[in-house]
Amino acid sequence: MRFGRTSKAVGVAAVAALALSACAESGGGEDPGTGGGGEASGGTVTVAEVNPFSSFNSDTAVGNVDINNKVALLTTNDFNYINSDLEVVPREEFGTYEVVSEDPLTVTYTVNEGVTWSDGEPVDADDLLLSWASTSAYFDDESDPDPEVEGDETGTTYFSAASTAGLDLTEMPELGEDGRSITLVYSEPYADWEIAFGVTDTPAHVVATNAGLADGDALIEAIQNAPEGDPENPQERPEISAIADFWNTGFDSTSLPSDPALYLSNGPYVVSEMVPDQSMTLVRNEDYNWGPIPAIDEITIRYIGDANAQVQALQNGEVDIIQPQASADTLTSLEAIDGVEILQGPELSFDHLDLYQEGGVFADENVRKAFMKTVPLEQIVDATIRPLDPESGPRMSQIFDFGTEPYLAAVEENGSSEYAEVDIEGAKELLDGATPEVRIMYNAENPNRVDAYTLIAESAEQAGFRVVDVGLPGAEWGPALEEGGARWDATIFGWISPGVGVTGVPQLYGCGSASNYVQWCDEEAQEAMDELILTTDPAEQQELQTLVDTRLYETGFGLPLFQSVGINGVSDRIEGTEYMSNQDGIWWNYWEWTVAE
């Protein structure tokens, strides 16, 4: 849980910068991911994933989980992708993008002629305009004059997008006369412009008909004619509301929809079968020729949450590739299997404990900070990742990746040292005799999260907290993230990043962001985040991110726990795989996979 690619809930806010001047046009250079893979050689591959699939729309706050993004990688194409060196690589066989002006920043995107959805409908202007409308917050006019008064909100937030940062700086776009292009004009020189926009998973003509409109052209007309959102003068937009309602939930499904329009593809694979909570099968999209042509004919994804079960399935030949929760036991078990290649490396993912801020037990800052003082960070690291990486330690920054130079600099000033060691007496002093009840929600099928919960609960109870276990099965914890306050007071989960850009920071911590599940809002941090996404200088970006990091600690947002380590196990019958540290994981170069003869 694509910034244009957003951080995913599994579950890092990315810290690398893309300068505005880095790419004035998308041309130039060899693209190893376009037209690669050679002639199709056939064969099948079975891959084990931890989490079960839940939505064909990975751009919503609820659909923004890692497995949905990976399926989208196989079934949709876009203007660029991120390679294993964490570089943005254009896909010119799909389309092109070009900066046509730097003042104001103006970018034109054009889908190539002949790119279609798997029902034969072209990917064109209606898809581009829906992509922008659903992720720009252009129509939102919700306001909350007094946060202390329940029900004081007015207006509407229409699309439940995982992130709107960046595109919320754009005005109503202009569509090209070719019917396949869109031009975005930014009010400010947005730092992450190159990864801000892409075609969403959801075909516009399908959204249109399910929203009661005639077709994609009618959807374009509805979007172009609806007034811009204005919190000072909220008003109804019935057609936008109907479009958003279907976009928000209409593609959520754990089984194969009876209507094939709900799982169309514009990428190399199309879903052919789903067994709820067990597996998904994808087959080749025979019409696809506008990107890398994969060698594999059929891919089956099996949902296996338990790491030992994944290893056993690989050993038994039931799966060819596994991406289990990393642990020393998992690595030892993999090393004992003949005919298996182990891919291992750092991962752009971190586990964290977040405290719900808007009402409930943690509305009181003293209670939040008391609870944070009880978290046994060193014990959690000992139980989870230190056996894999003896040099690892507790992650002491919400923003920066463990061990990097920006991380080391931030730790010196962000206030994390106050929580480096357990302080039961300090927690008791802050509680002043109170014994608050705290409900902790986490994925009960994830061994690292179970270990973290157990250690946190045992320590917190020593200070007087009464901890309630509300751990949920793997298929349920993701949707439950939106139920903070009603269902949980604290939650343990992870974020994983694409590894480029700075937009992940306001996505996770911005006031009102759909991915900010604990409803944290800090004026000083928000001002820094607003400036951050307009800043291209790396030193200034680091300074602004450190300020946000500091405010997260000073206000008691919660605690990062540890940076993850990634482990993949690959059968020797599969060739062409390569380790990837970001949210795409092993899937990043699927078009290069082949079955060994």
Cα separation, 165 vs 172, whole angstroms: 16
pLDDT band at 430 (very low <50, low <70, confident <90, very high): very high
pLDDT digits (tens, 9 = 90+) for 334-348: 999 999 999 999 889
Q: Extract the tokens encoding 582.
A: 């970001």
pLDDT digits (tens, 9 = 90+) for 201-210: 999 999 999 9
Q: Parse the chain into domains and list their residue ranges.
A: 70-249, 347-564
Cα separation, 9 vs 16, whole angstroms: 19
DSSP annotation of 43 reads: -
**What mean pLDDT is predicted for residues 143-155?**
59
Cα separation, 64 vs 303, whole angstroms: 17
Cα separation, 74 vs 292, whole angstroms: 11
pLDDT band at 152 (very low <50, low <70, confident <90, very high): low
Q: Extract the tokens encoding 142.
A: 């919700």
Q: What is the pLDDT of residue 8?
A: 52
Q: How many C-beta atoms lie closer than 10 Å to residue 471's C-beta?
A: 18
Query: What backbone torsions phi and psi does residue 337 show, to the nearest 5 degrees?
Result: -95, 130
- Per DSSP, the three-state class of 3 is coil
Pair 80, 230: CB distance under 8 Å:
no
Cα separation, 104 vs 360, whole angstroms: 45
CA angle 19, 23, 24 (to 5 degrees): 115
Cα separation, 189 vs 179, whole angstroms: 27
- Per DSSP, the three-state class of 330 is helix
Cα separation, 91 vs 42, whole angstroms: 24
H or E segment and range at residue 343 = strand 340-355
Which amino acid is located at 339 in the chain?
A: G
**What mean pLDDT is predicted for residues 2-22?**
34
Mean of per-residue pLDDT scores for the chain = 90
Check pLDDT > 60 for residue 375: yes
- Give the predicted TM-score (pTM) of the model: 0.82
pLDDT band at 23 (very low <50, low <70, confident <90, very high): very low
Cα separation, 512 vs 510, whole angstroms: 6
Check pLDDT > 80 for residue 16: no
Q: Extract the tokens encoding 508.
A: 């996770």
Give the distance from CA 190 to its chain's centroid.
Answer: 20
Check pLDDT > 60 for residue 37: no
Q: What radius of gyration do the chain's Cα atoms show?
A: 23
Query: What backbone torsions phi and psi does residue 193 show, to the nearest 5 degrees?
Result: -55, -35
Query: What backbone torsions phi and psi does residue 456 show, to the nearest 5 degrees?
Result: -65, -45
pLDDT band at 144 (very low <50, low <70, confident <90, very high): low
pLDDT digits (tens, 9 = 90+) for 132-143: 999 999 999 987
Query: What backbone torsions phi and psi does residue 495 show, to the nearest 5 degrees?
Result: -115, 140
Residue located via tokens 């941090």: 525
Q: What is the pLDDT of residue 557?
A: 98
Q: Extract the tokens encoding 271.
A: 């879903």
Q: What is the pLDDT of residue 38?
A: 43
The CATH architecture one would assign to domain 347-564 is Roll (3.10)
**What mean pLDDT is predicted for residues 156-164?**
92
CATH number for the segment(s) 70-249: 3.90.76.10
Q: What is the pLDDT of residue 151?
A: 54
**What mean pLDDT is predicted for residues 26-40?**
39
Q: What is the pLDDT of residue 154?
A: 73
Q: 174-175 and 181-185: which strand pairing?
A: antiparallel
b/e per residue 266-295 (b: at least 16 CB within 10 A): bbbbbbeebeeeebbbbbbbeebebbbbbb
Give the distance from CA 124 to its chain's centroid.
Answer: 25
CA-closest candidate to residue 194, choices 167, 176, 172: 167
For residue 447, cis peptide bond before it (omega within 30 degrees of 0): no
Check pLDDT > 60 for residue 545: yes
Which of 155-169, 231-245, 362-376, 538-552 is predicted with the least confidence, judged by mean pLDDT?
155-169
Angle, helices 523-532/538-554, rounded to nearest 10 degrees: 160
Q: What is the pLDDT of residue 336?
A: 95
H or E segment and range at residue 207 = helix 204-210
Q: What is the pLDDT of residue 18?
A: 22
Q: What is the pLDDT of residue 150?
A: 53
Cα separation, 491 vs 306, whole angstroms: 20
Residue located via tokens 């516009």: 204
Pair 170, 136: CB distance under 8 Å:
yes
User: Cα dihedral angle (362, 363, 366, 368), rounded to 10 degrees?
Assistant: 30
Check pLDDT > 90 for residue 3: no
Q: What is the pLDDT of residue 445?
A: 85
Q: How many C-beta atoms lie closer than 10 Å to residue 261's C-beta?
A: 16
Pair 273, 281: CB distance under 8 Å:
yes
Q: How far is CA 55 from CA 202, 261, 295, 415, 517, in A?
A: 11, 14, 26, 39, 19
Cα separation, 507 vs 519, whole angstroms: 12
Q: What is the pLDDT of residue 143?
A: 75
Cα separation, 268 vs 291, whole angstroms: 8
DSSP annotation of 339 reads: T
Instruction: State percent of the chain over pLDDT 90.
Output: 79
Which of 37-41, 317-321, 327-331, 396-400 is predicted with the least confidence, judged by mean pLDDT?
37-41
Domain pair 70-249 / 347-564, same fold: no
Check pLDDT > 80 for residue 544: yes
Q: 490-496 and 8-9: which strand pairing?
A: antiparallel
Q: Extract the tokens encoding 566.
A: 């990634």
Cα separation, 515 vs 503, whole angstroms: 12
* Alpha helices in 301-390, H assignment, sequence order: 307-315, 328-335, 365-373, 377-383
**What mean pLDDT is predicted for residues 431-436?**
97
Cα separation, 122 vs 447, whole angstroms: 45
